[in-house]
Copies of this chain bind each other. A is one copy, B any other.
Amino acid sequence: MNAEIISVGTELLLGQVVNTDAAIVAQELSALGISLLHTSVVGDNPQRLKDAVETALARSDLLIMTGGLGPTTDDLTKETTAAAAGKKLVLHPESLDRIKNYFNGALMTPNQEKQAWLPEGCTVLQNDNGTAPGCAFTAENGCVVIMLPGPPSELAPMLKNRAVPFLRQLQDSVIVSHNIHIYGLGEAPVAQIMDDCMDGENPTLAPYAKEGECMLRVTAKAQTPEAADRLCQPLMEEIFRRLGAYIYSVDVETLEEVVVAELAAHGKTLAVAESCTGGLLAKRITDVPGASQVFQMGCVTYANAAKEALLFVPHETLEAHGAVSEETARAMAEGIVRRAGSDIGVGITGIAGPDGGTAEKPVGTIYIALSDGRQTWVAKRAPIGRTKSRDWHRHCAASQALDMVRRYVLGLDVLPKP
């Protein structure tokens, strides 16, 4: 099944909005095993939209339209696509009721009704997060057409909950994927370690780079989700055998989610002291709803005086070794445990750049310490290869700190053996 996406909206052609819709749809199609061969963007222009739809209907088995389903005269997707596919628009009373309810007594302008006009005989895809419903139908020439609203907050759930089940029905098999998230080994070494498993056809195995991390995706195809899952299992066990403690999750997206969940599961509390990451570590932990159960305190101590006063870092340590040193990181981690009374404390100090680097301590030199009040571990990050951005150094240092917390809580080596 060859698919194509057309995204509609002048704002995309002006660069005001990045086309995340296309990436969201592409990911779901890939997970379904549907080949996406083209994506394109057209503005709110009837003739160019008509040309693009006609080309797509002629060359693709599945056409997914995103955007242009709204109430204004700019929103041309339904009229244009239905006409090109040989369908009339008819009023869908149930959708009209939903739109009326959505406005809930508040002023509903007459043009809102336009959104309830849908191609005759279509499957309506209900919008649980906005007013414009989506739809799915088969064009006269046999091409399957799906229309989805433009705002990603409406498109993503409609795609996942309504369009994907519709597409599954068209297929004689299902695809199941699992993402194995890895910290501490890059994409290249992971690919090398798993090299002999990369050529399988069902399940398949593919590595992906993430910012300072990497991921393996195991994908299998079968008659049922359960059968596909069973096909994945032996390969996943082999991956766990080879990569062990470097794996931080299966299908959980971020280190911070894993860390908050494991802290809660083990009844441990955390506090963090940050210099160069400047609150990013605390921010990432508190991105996770419910972090308040395990996160006690964060101190952003940029100034040396703050390190001394808040974190009990000895003046002599700062004098003798400097703010960016193993000793200062250690004292920060131990100090935040003492200050917060938490089970675990983290201290981060370093040079995130772009300025402030020296020959001995170039930009990217960052020390990360973890203390439980009895023992303290310190990791050193040194810059390698191409110059990286301030954001990159901060992000990677926060990730490494999270991984150290994960390892500590799970009883693994806090610092992985080289």
Find out whether the CB atom of A353 lies under 8 angstroms from the CB atom of B289: yes
Find out whether the CB atom of B291 lies under 8 angstroms from the CB atom of A302: yes
Contacts of A290 in B (CB 8 A): 355
The answer, yes or no, to whether A295 is at the interface (CB within 8 Å) is yes
Out of B36, B280, B295, B390, which one reaches A302, CB within 8 Å?
B295
A155 to chain B, nearest CB (A): 13
Contacts of A29 in B (CB 8 A): 15
- Roughly how many angstroms separate A24 CA and B17 CA in the complex, as a whole number? 10
Contacts of A391 in B (CB 8 A): 287
Q: List the B residue with the shortest CB-CB distance to A130.
A: B386
The answer, yes or no, to whether A77 is at the interface (CB within 8 Å) is no
Contacts of A208 in B (CB 8 A): 16
Contacts of A298 in B (CB 8 A): 278-279, 298-300
Find out whether the CB atom of A15 lies under 8 angstroms from the CB atom of B23: yes
A218 to chain B, nearest CB (A): 16
A285-B289 contact given A26-B15, A296-B302, A299-B299, CB 8 Å threshold: no
- Roughly how many angstroms separate A19 CA and B39 CA in the complex, as a whole number? 11
A191 to chain B, nearest CB (A): 15
Contacts of A281 in B (CB 8 A): 279
Find out whether the CB atom of B297 lies under 8 angstroms from the CB atom of A310: yes
Which of A41-49, A88-96, A221-229, A407-415 is the interface stretch? Answer: A41-49
> What 1/0 flags go to A118-152 for Cβ under 8 Å of B?
00000000000000000000000000000000000
Q: List the B residue with the shortest CB-CB distance to A306.
A: B297
Query: Could you list 13 A-B pairs, sorted by A, with CB under 8 Å?
Result: A13-B37, A14-B27, A14-B36, A15-B24, A16-B208, A19-B19, A279-B283, A289-B353, A292-B303, A296-B305, A297-B300, A297-B303, A298-B299
Name the 8 nearest CB pairs between A and B, nearest first: A278-B286, A279-B282, A15-B26, A298-B300, A15-B27, A279-B279, A40-B40, A279-B283
New A-B pairs, 4, CB < 8 Å, besides A38-B40, A280-B286, A289-B390: A38-B41, A38-B52, A279-B282, A297-B303
